[in-house]
Amino acid sequence: MKFLAVCLCFAVFVSDSFGCNSLMRRDTPYKASPAKKERYSSIKGLPYSKIRRGPPIWRDEFDHLDHSKWTPMISGWRGSNAFQIYVNRSQNMFVFHSFLCTVSSEIINYLQLLLQTFRGIENSYVRDADRYGPEFLYNGTIDLTLEGCNVNWGGGCIVKSGDDIIPPIQSARIHTRNSFSFTYGFVEVRAKMPKGDWIWPAVWMSPTDSVYGSNPRSGEIDITEVRSNVNLSCGSKSYGRQLCGTSLHWGPDSHHNGHRVQRNPDFSSDFHIFAMEWLPIGFNFYVDDDLIGHVSPPEGGFWKMGGFEGQNIWNITGNGTRIAPFDHPFHFILDVAVGGDMFPDWCINQPFDQPLEKPWKISDPVQMRPFWEKRMDWLPTWNPETEDNAMRIDYIRVYAVDQHHRSHG
């Protein structure tokens, strides 16, 4: 198999939760008890079968980066307090051809989300040192309005240093909000996760119109997320790239969400197929044909499933169905973030011989400065001269729900 790379690069300045209490963490493929199997089998179409697909309704095989499908986010907004800005620069988003391995004569193309470093100090790897000098992170300003800033959440169009430094990571985030959204269907994403400490890749979906209000009231679907550390442990559990997370977010506030996890020797060592079955009565999530999560809300919907009190907000604001807030169109988002709240404070990282504490604390008002000043602990794990620190997407395919399964909503 011959891989023709189509690369979207994510560069570094080096001037340069979940939780719905109704869902449980899983480190192995989903296995239901006999009682649960009997209960689930009474729900037609869920969950014990291979993904049942209707006709294809959308796909991107990434023969090239199709700008009619994908729109970049340009902003210094730091969702989940991550340590990057999102830009749309020629050195960040471009196409190149590279044969990485040959297995057969068939050419498969993939979109590659790649973090690269810019040299400014010491042994950091140079890209744009002329533009950003060593002190820029500490006293600089980035005016993203000059680059077409399109998201000003949190004042994200003007990024300034202050008590903390300028975000030291330059990355990219693209979405299909302007070109493609859908409600209910079957999604397959073939992807390979990046290698590198504190890198946080994600393939996810967001509501195109926030019918029920701001996040998480209108829902969020995380098809896969990974913490890309090679040897990250939190308590007695491995939390690095041996785990991928699949999540549903819903509820009246950010503390009411859902989370599933699947274990693998290393999600960055090869491509895997992350799949989702989204029906009017529930969700199934798969990794390489293993069912890792099944969610089907009872009568009363996700409001009852979350154990929330008071009036169901989805019936008040939008006459929601049983699966509300997941009953309106969602679109795709691809991004590679770094740092932030995704990495718990009690975790120990051991990329080399000695265990290391996480270089920042979620509770600290200054987080990016200690992260950056400890860069020689994590930057070598990114292997910046290789493509190891890339999230590579081979394809995304969406199929309709066949009429039989739609009728049981």
How distant, in Å, are the alpha carbons of 53, 271, 276, 286 from that of 289? 14, 13, 10, 6
Q: How far is the C-alpha of 182 from the C-alpha of 406, rounded, in Å?
A: 14
Q: How far is the C-alpha of 78 from the C-alpha of 340, rounded, in Å?
A: 9
Counting Cβ atoms within 10 Å, is residue 250 exposed (0-12), middle (13-18) or buried (19+)? buried
Query: What is the bridge-based pairing of β-strands 107-117 and 2-12?
Result: parallel
- Which pLDDT does position 394 carry in this prediction? 86
Give the residue-averaged pLDDT of 34-40: 40
Res. 299 pLDDT band, cuts 50 70 90: confident
Query: pLDDT > 70: what percent of the chain?
Result: 71
Active site residues: 220, 225
| Residue 1, SS3 per DSSP | coil
Q: Is a pLDDT exceeding 60 seen at residue 25? A: no
Give the residue-averaged pLDDT of 113-122: 42
Q: How far is the C-alpha of 286 from the C-alpha of 202, rounded, in Å?
A: 16
Contacts of 155 (CB under 8 A, 6+ apart): 76
Counting Cβ atoms within 10 Å, is residue 237 exposed (0-12), middle (13-18) or buried (19+)? middle
Bigger pLDDT: 41 vs 211: 211
Query: What is the bridge-based pairing of β-strands 347-349 and 272-279?
Result: unpaired
- Which pLDDT does position 53 carry in this prediction? 80
pLDDT tens-digit map of 225-245:
999 999 999 888 888 999 888
Bigger pLDDT: 27 vs 89: 89
Counting Cβ atoms within 10 Å, is residue 30 exposed (0-12), middle (13-18) or buried (19+)? middle
Res. 117 pLDDT band, cuts 50 70 90: very low
User: Phi and psi at residue 78, in whole multiples of 5°?
Assistant: -115, 80
- Which pLDDT does position 261 carry in this prediction? 57
pLDDT tens-digit map of 350-384:
998 889 999 999 999 999 999 999 999 998 998 87
The mean-pLDDT minimum among 85-94, 280-289, 352-361, 396-405 falls in 85-94
- Which pLDDT does position 360 carry in this prediction? 96
- Which pLDDT does position 231 carry in this prediction? 93
Give the residue-averaged pLDDT of 375-397: 85
How distant, in Å, are the alpha carbons of 17, 121, 365 from that of 360? 18, 21, 10
Q: Is a pLDDT exceeding 60 seen at residue 320? A: yes
Q: Could you tell me which CATH class the domain 2-16+32-406 is placed in?
A: mainly beta
Q: Is a pLDDT exceeding 60 seen at residue 298? A: yes
The mean-pLDDT minimum among 101-115, 257-271, 309-323 falls in 101-115
Contacts of 12 (CB under 8 A, 6+ apart): 115, 116, 117, 118, 168, 169, 170, 384
- Which pLDDT does position 106 carry in this prediction? 24
- DSSP string of 270-284? S-EEEEEEEETTEEE
Instruction: Say which residue the tokens 């909000």 belong to.
Output: 177
Tokens read off for 239: 């939390």
Average per-residue pLDDT for the chain: 76
- Which pLDDT does position 30 carry in this prediction? 38
